[in-house]
Amino acid sequence: MKPLTKSRFKTALECPNKLFFTSKKEYANNQNGDSFLVALANGGFQVEALARLHYPNGIFIDTESYEYDKAVQLTHEAANSSDIDHPIPI
């Protein structure tokens, strides 16, 4: 079962059937030439760059795409680490 990401949650709010079909490879969208979608995908890198500017002492959690469980585990380990100063209570 695919994890419920923010994007998939928003899809489910639009239409529950869309959520079901987004996890089926046979219904995948094969249109790769949309320049808007390419720009939107690159926006993730822009968000990362902005976050790094606002939090220069932050810890970068690096995982492969869709390794959500590993990212959560690494985030918990970093948040519970005693060798960093937490600007806000965790």
pLDDT of residue 85: 61
- Is 35 found in the same domain as 64? yes
pLDDT of residue 68: 87
Q: Three-state SS for 56?
A: coil
pLDDT of residue 84: 63
- pLDDT in 10s for each residue of the chain, 90 residues: 678 888 888 888 988 888 888 777 777 766 666 787 777 777 767 778 888 899 888 888 888 877 889 989 998 998 888 666 655 554
**53 near 72, Cβ under 8 Å?**
no
Number of domains into which the chain is organized? 2
The structure tokens 């987004």 sit at 22
pLDDT of residue 83: 65
- Is 56 found in the same domain as 15? no
- Is 56 found in the same domain as 85? yes
State which residues form the domain around 74: 31-90
- Is 49 found in the same domain as 11? no
- Is 44 found in the same domain as 23? no
